[in-house]
Amino acid sequence: MAVHAVAHLNFRGEAREALEFYRSVFGGEVRIATYGDFGMPKDVPGADRVVFGQVTGDNGFQVMAYDIPGAAGAAPAGETTRENGTTITTEKFFLSVSGDSVDEVGEFWKKLSEDAKIIEPFGPSQWAPAFGMLQDRFGVTWILQVAA
* Mean pLDDT value of segment 72-97: 62
Fold of 7-67: 2,3-Dihydroxybiphenyl 1,2-Dioxygenase; domain 1 (3.10.180)
**What confidence tens digit (pLDDT) does each residue in 3-49 have?**
577 899 999 899 999 999 999 999 999 999 999 998 889 888 899 99
- d(C-alpha 146, C-alpha 142), whole Å: 13
E strand residue ranges, 35-116: 50-56, 62-67, 78-83, 86-91, 95-99
Question: For residue 84, what is the DSSP state?
Answer: T
- pLDDT band at 148, cuts 50/70/90? confident
pLDDT band at residue 93 using 50, 70 and 90 as cut-offs: confident
Radius of gyration of the chain (CA): 17
Count Cβ neighbours within 10 Å for each residue of 88-108 and write b for 16 or more, e otherwise: eeeeeeeeebebeebeebbeb
The secondary structure of residue 72, as a DSSP letter, is -
* Residue 19 burial class via C-beta count within 10 angstroms: exposed 0-12, middle 13-18, buried 19 and up: buried
The reply to whether CATH 3.30.720.110 applies to domain 85-146 is yes
What are the φ and ψ backbone dihedral angles of 144, each rounded to 5 degrees? -120, 135
Neighbours of 55 (CB within 10 A): 24
| First vs last C-alpha separation in the chain | 28
- Delimit the domains of the chain by residue range: 7-67, 85-146
Would you say the pTM of this structure is higher than 0.75?
Answer: yes
CB 99 within 8 A of CB 147: yes
